Structure 1
Amino acid sequence: MRTRLMAAAMVAAGALTLAACSSDDDPGDGGTGDGGGGGGDTIRIGIKFDQPGLGFKDGDTYTGFDVDVAKYVAGELGYTEDQIEFVESPSAQRETMLQNGQVDLIFATYSITDERKEVVSFAGPYFVAGQDLLVAADDTTITGPEDLEGKNLCSVTGSTSAQRIKDEYAAGTNLLEQPGYSECVTALTAGTVDAVTTDDIILAGLASIPANEGKVKVVGNPFSEENYGVGMPKDSDRCQAVTDAITKMLGDGAWQKALDDNVGASGYVPNADLNPPEPAACE
């Protein structure tokens, strides 16, 4: 009798072990399947963390026009806001982050260019910006890049906007380079420089900060055209769905609301001939 009891106990223990192994190997309903989120439990979205009005991180809060567009598109893809993981995506690292799978999508003032399209795909554009100038609110002397001859201009290190001004409009511009645009605006309000340059909507975001309201203004004379797109890995199967989501946002009022909410305080009005844009086919 004792032998039969011991044998039964060993069989029961073996069954429990097999059940435990099966549970570890098979994710079942609690695994990483669709999770109700359009292809995964979370979606990793690259944004800027240091661009007020566009992509800005304050503690655990993310705000800006790019952030609002990202949330809308993610929602159309089937993700709730708590399924979005925002990842900082510096300009110089965007292609690498997409190629390495560090992010699924990038909404970070990411201009669509032929060179970039060789290594990543784009949906959009969802906004057409232009390189412009930020000046003191009472400045009436600077109306365009040609007025910067002999004046002091601030931009971030390696800015294509600043270099274009020196190459094409005012070779005698004195360039002050800073690590970030916030430092440039500080120099502008202090009178150290006469203007700041980058894309107009980025300047509008800086001008919308309560501390800067009424002190600075966007000139409103853009000298380039920058088509902001949603970056994704090359030949991503999400491309058409993202384009469809952008098209819907442009048409249902959510795009204009996001723009007004984030940069409206600056008084900036985007080029009506270019915005809202018509999203192109996936590229």
Structure 2
Amino acid sequence: MKKFASLLAVALLALAAVSLGTHSKATAADKLPAQVQKIKDTGVLKVGVKQDVPNFGYYDSKSGKYTGMEVEIAKKIADELGVKVEYTAVTSQTREALLDNGQTDLTIATYTINDERKANYSISNPYYYDQVGFLVNKSDNINSPKDLDGKTIGVAQGSTTKTSLEEYAKSNNLHFKYMQLGSFPELAIALRAFRIDAFSVDKSILTGYVSKNNKILDQGFDTMEYGIAAKKSNDQLTNYINGLLAQWRKDGSLQKIYDKYNLDPADADDE
């Protein structure tokens, strides 16, 4: 009888432990910040990504799928929340507007962190570092930014590249003319057609447009930080993402994604 009572007590304790563990998990889930829990409750994370930047955000019309480093980060965040991810193609001109009107929860789209943007949006810690560079036609014999003095540089509308170039030109006693186009593929085409003398944007973006007829100049400048943007009021969501990014840096997850797309981030202190 005593043996039976002892076994019954052990069983009851085990049952209580299971129940307590289940309750603890539920409590932990309940502790998600309200803004994060709201997304979890909808079952969908809406993310703005590029569709024309190979290795970062690219839409393959044949497969009907998005690929790239930023696409994978979006999927990884969604997986942490246990929700589906819904991608929306954005450009440098539209990514903020789509956040503003609620069509996207986040933008992960080569979004450079600067003071002006931080004043208007909630932006995560950097997940990638890059430098501004130049893609030029090999036949033009341009080997350094100094060779571009007086020439036309193509930049994307709505990007920070033109501002960076103006500051760089001023500090190096250079003069650039500019052509602003709506997308990176348009700029690559303009370079191939010799309508511009260089296509300028962050170096890692340029790697997606290298061909046998062009090259990226070795010299880059103005280290850029890419961040994940949300509405200014969604700081809880940003803090949650910062926690994930810190975890993924520590466990090597981010590096694995870089390696998959042959990306080599600039050093944070590079200039």
**Structure 2 residue runs without a partner (length 5+):** 1-35
Report what 1:128 is aligned to: 129
Corresponding residue for residue 156 of structure 2: 156
Is 1:203 the equivalent of 2:198? no
| Aligned-pair CA distance for 1:174 | 4.0
Cα distance in 2 for residues equivalent to 1:113 and 1:104: 20
> Residues of 2 paired with 1:98 and 1:136: CA distance?
37
Q: Please give the TM-score of this superposition, normalised by the length of structure 2.
A: 0.72
The structure that has the greater radius of gyration is 1
Mapped contact 1:48–1:90 kept (Cα < 8 A): yes
Structure 2 residue corresponding to 1:216, chosen from 201, 214, 217: 214
Secondary structure in 2 aligned to 1:117?
A: helix
The answer on whether the counterparts of 1:131 and 1:225 sit within 8 Å (CA) in structure 2 is yes
State the shift of 1:129 in Å.
1.9
Equivalent of residue 266 in structure 2, options 253, 262, 271: 271
Alpha-carbon offset, residue 137 of structure 1:
5.4
Is 2:188–2:199's contact at 8 Å kept on the other side of the alignment? yes
Identity percentage of aligned residues: 30
Distance change (3 Å), C-alpha of 1:273 and 1:84: closer
Query: Is the 1:131–1:223 Cα contact (8 Å) retained in structure 2?
Result: yes
The answer on whether the counterparts of 2:223 and 2:266 sit within 8 Å (CA) in structure 1 is: no
Aligned length: 228
Match of 1:58 among 53, 56, 60: 60
Equivalences for residues 1-283 of structure 1 within 5 A = 38-59=40-61, 60-79=64-83, 83-136=84-137, 141-144=142-145, 146-157=146-157, 160-162=160-162, 164-166=164-166, 168-169=168-169, 171-207=174-210, 212=211, 214-236=212-234, 237-262=236-261, 264=262, 269-274=264-269
Deviations 1:108-142 (A, max 9, x none): 11122222222321112101222111124577642
Does the CA contact (< 8 Å) of 1:44 and 1:87 recur in 2? yes
Point out the more displaced range, 157-166 or 236-245: 157-166
Please, which runs of 5 or more residues in structure 1 have no aligned partner? 1-33, 276-283
Equivalent position SS for 1:68: helix
In 2, Cα distance between equivalents of 1:66 and 1:161: 20
Q: Greater CA deviation, 55-64 or 233-242?
A: 233-242
**1:123, 1:230 within 8 Å by CA — same for their partners in 2?**
yes
